[in-house]
Structure 1
């Protein structure tokens, strides 16, 4: 069970990262649960930071 939960949170982080790199707003987070939402927002922040620092281009 722990592996499934971790995989779900990893997927939320990855989707948030992709959204951040793509320039999407953090208000578009599709998750309602606190754990998944916080992982998505963490990924989004890293994606935005990478995009701003020039690591990624659209």
Structure 2
């Protein structure tokens, strides 16, 4: 059971990262569950940081 939860959260983080790199808004988060939403937003922030670092 824990493996499924970890995989789901890792997938949410990965999808958020891709959204951040592609320049999507944080409002585009498709998750409503607090845990998965936090993971998605964390990935989104990481992706935005990478995007802004590469633009400098």
Q: Show structure 2 runs of 5+ residues with no match.
A: none
Q: Give CA deviations for 1:10-55 in whole Å, capped at 9, x if unaligned.
A: 0000000000000000001000000000000000000000000008
- Partner residue in 2 for 1:30: 30
Structure 1 length as normaliser, TM-score?
0.93
Structure 2 length as normaliser, TM-score?
0.96
RMSD of aligned residue pairs (Cα, Å): 1.0
Once residues 25 and 4 of structure 1 are traced to their aligned partners in structure 2, the CA distance between those partners, rounded to angstroms, is 27
Which 4+ stretches in 1 moved above 4 angstroms?
none
Greater helix fraction, Structure 1 or Structure 2: 2
Equivalent residues, number = 55
